[in-house]
Amino acid sequence: MVAISSSTTAMGNSSPLIPPASSTGFSFSPGGLLFPYHLGVITALEHRGRITDQVHLAGASAGAIAVASHAARTPPARALEAAFRVCDECETRHSGRAIGKLLPLLKVELEKCFLPEAHEVVNEREGVVALAHRELFPNNRPVLTTRFDTRDELIEAVCDSSMFPFFSTPFPVRLRYKEGERIPRVIVDGFFSVPIERYGCPDFSHLNFNTRVEEKLRSMGGALVGENPINDDYNETPVIERTVTVACFPHETVGLTASLKHDQISPEPDYDNPAGQMSELFRYATQPSSRKELETLYEKGWADAERWSYEEDLRERELADEWLKERRLKAEVEDAVKRGDLF
């Protein structure tokens, strides 16, 4: 099995053509019980220095679990063990069925895995940590939750993002009462927070959308139902120039076209047997798997992240070479002008 590590390697960009870490975001898709794949990706990217505390992270459903676990500094081995326990629980207590049972099991494991100060660790991170869900009522809108006042709020935000109708629980929606509210919010999975071409990968531009909606309501003399007044200390949204989408299913197969090829991490499509590949991945996503299968998913995520990192190293070298050539050419032209060689 690939070693589970939390070490990092320094990464520096030598060309202005390459966005700095502080303007780069990774957006993780839903995936059900394919969570170990995301865990392998995010751990490998940290190991390679591609994900640092300056890099922005967003996730929906399984992606939200991976992002929150990473940002809260949950050791990867501990998070993977939680996935083992969820599948074991489905096998032993629910006759091998996962459908309708997952959200309560998820909440139990989050309680076990997150340290008491988990929300503080996430909030203190320099890069944004955004967990996506869709609110249907009282405001029909996509939501990216980025601030967590308590550990319970962090756990609830992960659960909000993981409420896939009739899959996470037997119910179509999740009802969430917040302090000071008499009417519950109606919430569904983060998959529904973005258009289909994003396949559930959260859109960082919704950070600006949420701010604009709240500012408009405040200018009208109110705020979103149950929201505290906006704290100007947290009203600034980062400029994210580049988003890398991470999916448990092949981008091409599921029509995830919201990102360029070099901004995609996912399994390679099986062109000889695409239906068989999707059938197997769908089974992993919806049914409990063995420990060995879950470890294999983790290893697959690690390997795909390593492949992307290698290709990204090559691309960055090419961009750096291109930038250096342009600088040399510009310097040569300027020297020629000074000498009068061009006249």
How many alpha carbons lie under 13 Å from residue 131 in its C-beta half-sphere? 31
Pairwise CA distance, residues 76 & 293, whole Å = 16
322 three-class SS: helix
pLDDT score recorded for residue 207: 86
**Residue 203 DSSP one-character state:** P
% the chain with pLDDT above 90: 71
Extract the tokens encoding 280: 């197997």
% the chain with pLDDT above 70: 84
**Spatial contact of 184 and 175, defined as CB atoms under 8 Å apart:** yes
pLDDT score recorded for residue 19: 64
Across 5-19, average pLDDT: 46
Residue 227 has pLDDT above 50, yes or no: no
Higher pLDDT, 233 or 168: 168
pLDDT in tens, 278-335: 999 999 999 999 999 999 999 999 999 999 999 999 998 988 888 888 888 888 777 7
DSSP per residue, 39-75? HHHHHHHHHTTSS-TTSEEEEETHHHHHHHHHHTT--
Name which of 12-21, 30-39, 100-109 the model is least confident about: 12-21
DSSP per residue, 23-42? GEEEEEPP-GGGHHHHHHHH
Does the bond joining 16 to the residue before it have cis omega, within 30 degrees of 0? no
pLDDT score recorded for residue 7: 36
Residue 162 has pLDDT above 50, yes or no: yes
Residue 20 has pLDDT above 80, yes or no: no
SS3 content of the chain, % helix, strand, coil (to 5): 50, 10, 40
Across 87-116, average pLDDT: 94
pLDDT in tens, 52-64: 999 999 999 999 9
Report the mean per-residue pLDDT for the chain: 87
Across 266-286, average pLDDT: 96
Higher pLDDT, 226 or 343: 343
Pairwise CA distance, residues 245 & 251, whole Å = 9
Higher pLDDT, 318 or 208: 318
131 three-class SS: strand
**Lookup result for tokens 């600034």:** 236
* Beta strand residue intervals within the chain, DSSP E: 24-28, 56-60, 129-137, 141-145, 174-176, 185-188, 242-246, 264-265
Q: Which of 3-17, 93-107, 206-220, 265-279 has the highest mean pLDDT?
A: 265-279
pLDDT score recorded for residue 4: 47
Using alpha carbons, select from 243, 249, 293 the residue that is nearest to residue 32: 249
pLDDT in tens, 110-157: 999 999 999 999 999 999 999 999 999 999 999 999 999 999 999 999
**Lookup result for tokens 């998070």:** 79
pLDDT score recorded for residue 3: 47
Across 212-220, average pLDDT: 47
pLDDT score recorded for residue 26: 98
Strands 264-265 and 56-60: unpaired
Other CB atoms within 10 Å distance of the CB of residue 336: 12
Residue 71 has pLDDT above 80, yes or no: yes
pLDDT in tens, 168-181: 999 999 999 888 88
